[in-house]
Amino acid sequence: MQRYSREGSAPCFINGESSALGIEIPNAPHSTVGSEPIYRTVAPVLATTLGKLLPFELSMPNYLYLDSNGQKQGPVNDQQLKALVVQGIITPETPLATDTGHRGKAGQIPGLFATAPSPFVQPAQAAQHVAVPVEAKGKNSLITLVGILALLIVGGIGWAIMSATSSVRFTVAEQREIDSFLAQYGGEFKNNVKAADKDGTTLLHIAAHNRDLAAVKYCVSKGANVNATNKWGSTPLHFATKTGDGAIEIIKFLVSKNADVHSKNNEGNTPLDIARAESATASNYSEIVQYLSDVSGTSSPTEQVASQIQFTAAEQRKFTAEERAEIEWFCADRGNDVKAIYEHGTTLLHIAASQEYPAVVKYLVSKGANVNAKNEHGYTPLHGAVRWGENFEIVKYLVSEGANVNTKNNEGKTPLDVAQEEGNVATFEYLVSVKGKLGTGIVPSTDQVKQMASQKQCSNKILQLILALHTRADMYKETYLPPLYTVDKNGKPLHSWRVLILPYIEQGDLYQKIRLNEPWDSEHNKQFHSQVPSLYQCPSNPAKGCCYAGIIGEVFVPAVREMGNTGRTLTFQRKGTSNQITIVEVKKPFCWMDPTADITLDELAKGFDGDGRCGSFHGDICLVGFFDGSVRAIPKTVNRETLRNLGKADATSGFSL
């Protein structure tokens, strides 16, 4: 037996008073998440028809609420109310009123925050099917009974229609994904899946780009146009195809909903054209290419090239069936001419070595490919294998086939130089063992190479954090950065910007578990203190914890209202983002969720490894991230006043390293 409440049915109001009337319908299905509950459309019509007969009024509530400035906002429905909770706009203490005149706080709505005595939904008294009826004042019991029977009819009809029309179902996990998606992206579109931004991009475009299958299904279930085009002529199917790995299920779903596989963007490319182009530089498009080829009636590249490549008996013995398939796939759009020259003077062997196709490398060399060919930048296939590839076997194979380990590119760098820059310790040690030398003729120690490797990893982490700040800002119409921290009604810090950007650093699941309306160190949230995202930890620092802090009062400013989740806009920086310090290393790690652990200008001005907190384990340098996304290695001897100037929001002072 299931009782309707705010989760599944509308409460009834009688003559402006909340009644004790509760209606139970056996096995009544819940409405699908994100879809308008059936009673919203059916019951008002029936109420209008029956209104003249019933001794009371049927009314379906929408909510009005007061924002942090005391201004009345709304009306909003159930789903919109939940989205506002996720965004931190609605808190348990937010005053609410229904359009039927009832007042209370958001925390009193069952299922929204917690269960509390509620003026919105009164607890129904125990009964097997129908709770205690209310006596309508001034009306006799017979008329009241007629009213109750009419309500039962309304409920029965609503249940029947809902059973017939609710074909889209979402799991709890999918519901959570959809709520998170709407909280992040729905605001600009007012949660309207048919709306588009100034570039013609819709919520369905965004969901497809994010590889969010639940959000894609939600948008389509609400009537989104699967063939909507933005100003570049791209459809959601174009967007999904571009993302590659993990998008195949979204692509199949969109096609099943009549997405046009032949649609061309402004450059004349179909989704299949995009998949084939991407497959030239990535290995995760083969399934997408094959599927789109099948559904568009186009023969796949593998089929086209299979007749072009004829493996000899010796090659069939040399290469396994899987390796032959890899070779056929690689040559599908490129051919197998080992002397062909592509963009920037690159050969097929350059491409195969850089993208880690060992079987293709061996096949091309066996066909006479030049292992020492240079592109217009002076890179050989060995340079490419060391810089962009991670397959150690390809490096060793090229050397065994005569690749020159000491050839220099246009910058005067040998493959050993590249291995040192990339922090590739194993490759570095191997090249030294085969008499490899640096362009300068000096060979550093392995320990020095390991230090450079951890420095590079740290630099990449800082870069990812700054990109996450910009990505999050782009989701808001006014391009708001996250605040330094969110605040409660008394202005006390709740959560750091590091928590707010979790969905943008592939930590969405962790973000969903944190209660944003509770302090960062509440009993519930303490359990996440030890779950430090790897992006917040410097590989050189032996202590566990967060090693990256923002600059207080400049790029990062506290939220200005209770549970507000926006800080400065991107336009605050007027005088050159390349000179604005945004994130700096600290030598002593702190709890990543602590909203009070960031760095002031005064602390920054104390220098690195000095009296302040800033510092690193990278020898005589400290890594600093700037607002434009650049990460620089600044000497620890840098002038302290220069640091202060670079930390200001109007930073203009530069320095030379």
For β-strands 63-66 and 17-18, DSSP reports them as unpaired
Whether 124 and 131 have beta carbons less than 8 Å apart is answered as yes
- Note the helical H segments in 530-639: 601-604
Provide, rounded to the nearest whole percent, the portion of the chain with pLDDT above 70.
67
Q: Report the range of poorest mean pLDDT among 7-21, 307-321, 387-401, 486-500.
A: 7-21
Residue 274: count of CB within 10 angstroms of its CB: 24
- Note the helical H segments in 440-592: 446-474, 497-500, 508-513
- Is residue 550 over pLDDT 80? yes
What integer pLDDT is reported at residue 521 of this predicted model?
94
What integer pLDDT is reported at residue 110 of this predicted model?
65
Per-residue pLDDT, averaged over 383-388, amounts to 87
- Higher-confidence residue of 427 and 302: namely 427
What integer pLDDT is reported at residue 656 of this predicted model?
35
120-173 residue pLDDT tens: 333 333 223 333 333 333 444 444 455 555 555 555 555 444 444 445 678 887
Extract the tokens encoding 637. Answer: 């001897």
Distant-in-sequence, close-in-space partners of 313: CB < 8 Å, separation ≥ 6: none
- Is residue 119 over pLDDT 70? no
Cα separation values, 415 from 194, 374, 398, 422, Å = 53, 13, 12, 10
Extract the tokens encoding 225. Answer: 């146009």
Extract the tokens encoding 445. Answer: 């120690």
φ/ψ bin of 158: left (φ > 0), alpha (ψ from -120 to 50), beta (otherwise): alpha
Residue 76 pairs in a beta bridge with 63
**What is the SS3 string spanning 45-57?**
HHHHHHCCCCCCC
What integer pLDDT is reported at residue 610 of this predicted model?
74
Whether 359 and 323 have beta carbons less than 8 Å apart is answered as yes
Coil, strand or helix: which one is 271? helix
Tell me, what DSSP letter sits at residue 29? P
What integer pLDDT is reported at residue 127 of this predicted model?
29
Q: Which of 55-69, 111-125, 318-332 has the highest mean pLDDT?
A: 318-332
Q: Classify residue 566 by burial, with Cβ atoms within 10 Å: 0-12, 13-18, 19+.
A: buried
The domains of the chain, with CATH numbers, are 13-165 (no CATH), 172-298 (1.25.40.20), 337-444 (1.25.40.20), 452-647 (no CATH)
Extract the tokens encoding 582. Answer: 């945004």
Whether 510 and 502 have beta carbons less than 8 Å apart is answered as yes
